[in-house]
Amino acid sequence: GDSVTQMEGPVTLSEEAFLTINCTYTATGYPSLFWYVQYPGEGLQLLLKATKADDKGSNKGFEATYRKETTSFHLEKGSVQVSDSAVYFCALSDRGSGNTPLVFGKGTRLSVIA
Amino acid sequence: DGGITQSPKYLFRKEGQNVTLSCEQNLNHDAMYWYRQDPGQGLRLIYYSQIVNDFQKGDIAEGYSVSREKKESFPLTVTSAQKNPTAFYLCASTLAFSGANVLTFGAGSRLTVL
């Protein structure tokens, strides 16, 4: 079945450091890919998405590029801030398998220290 | 403002008791979902509903029940058959049942079994 694998956390960075959170996927069809973020004590909210190969999603300084050849959707940010401390989830929807609910990775906790 | 309201935010249950978690949305979304979140395990789908009076089991439906009598409401009952119910529960919705649609999440309900 479809699956998403994220790098395990926690990830601890100093403010203004470069961030990469790796995400790879397995899907039988043509997935849409998403990054969601969960701030402490809250539900998840969409950070960015990409719906086809080579698309780049971006938001709030975060970017991720849909790489079909490596089945990856790594999240990057050039300079993190303390306010970016949260749990980040990679997710996919495999449209080729019909309408199915999103499949989530296990999440990666990011802590940014001043 | 439109959104999803989950209640209660915190709930304590004695073993052997059923409890019901409320989820209400005023977004006019057709599809609604319940996820369970445990540390290190990401989000796991419990039940989802594409339209009123219809719902499907997710990956971990055992010990849970739902109803969808109104478009805006999708309550989750955690029954005494659920052996390890302590977790954070998240309700979500999408405009239509399509994996490409973005999920809107509630703030969550934390259930603790005493």
**Contact state of B100 with A36 under an 8 Å Cβ cutoff:** no
pLDDT at A96 over 70: no
pLDDT of residue A97: 54
Q: A56 is written with which tokens?
A: 């780049």
For range A55-84, the mean pLDDT? 97
**Contact state of B45 with A49 under an 8 Å Cβ cutoff:** no
C-alpha separations of B54 from A43, B6, B51 in Å: 25, 21, 6
Residue A101: band (very low, low, confident or very high) from pLDDT cuts 50, 70, 90? confident
pLDDT at A98 over 60: no
Residues 19-38 of A with CB under 8 A from B: 31-32, 34, 36
* Residues whose CB is less than 8 angstroms from the CB of residue A43 and which lie 6 or more positions away in sequence, other chains included: B4, B6, B90, B92, B105, B106, B107, B108
pLDDT of residue B99: 61
Residue B20: band (very low, low, confident or very high) from pLDDT cuts 50, 70, 90? very high
Contact A19, A88 (CB under 8 A): no
pLDDT of residue B100: 65
* A100 chain-B contacts, CB cut-off 8 A: 99
For range B27-33, the mean pLDDT? 93
For range B24-30, the mean pLDDT? 94
Say how far apart CA B64 and CA B85 lie, in whole Å.
9
Q: What is the pLDDT of residues B36-92, one digit of tens each?
A: 999 878 899 999 999 999 999 999 999 999 999 999 999 999 998 888 999 999 999
* B33 chain-A contacts, CB cut-off 8 A: 101
Mean pLDDT of chain B: 92
For range A91-103, the mean pLDDT? 75
The C-alpha of B59 sits at a distance from chain A's nearest C-alpha, in angstroms, of: 10
* Residues whose CB is less than 8 angstroms from the CB of residue B21 and which lie 6 or more positions away in sequence, other chains included: B6, B7, B8, B11, B75, B76, B77, B78, B89, B91, B109, B111
* A87 chain-B contacts, CB cut-off 8 A: none
Say how far apart CA B42 and CA B88 lie, in whole Å.
11
Look at A89-98, B26-35, B73-82 and tell me which has the smallest mean pLDDT: A89-98
**Contact state of B43 with A44 under an 8 Å Cβ cutoff:** yes
Q: Per-residue DSSP letters for B28-95?
A: --SEEEEEEEETTTEEEEEEEESSTT--EE-TT-TTEEE--SBTTB--EEE-TT-S---EEEEEEEES
Residue A86: phi, psi to the nearest 5?
A: -175, 180
For range A99-105, the mean pLDDT? 82
CB atoms within 10 A of CB B70: 11
Say how far apart CA A5 and CA A25 lie, in whole Å.
6
**Residue given tokens 């249950």 in the structure block:** B13
Closest by alpha carbon to A82, among A39, A48, A42? A39
Q: What is the pLDDT of residues A6-58, one digit of tens each?
A: 988 899 999 999 999 999 999 887 889 999 999 988 899 999 999 999 999 99
Closest by alpha carbon to B64, among B49, B101, A4? B49
Say how far apart CA A8 and CA A79 lie, in whole Å.
21
pLDDT at B98 over 80: no
3-class SS letters over A72-98: ECCEEECCCCHHHCEEEEEEEEEHHHC
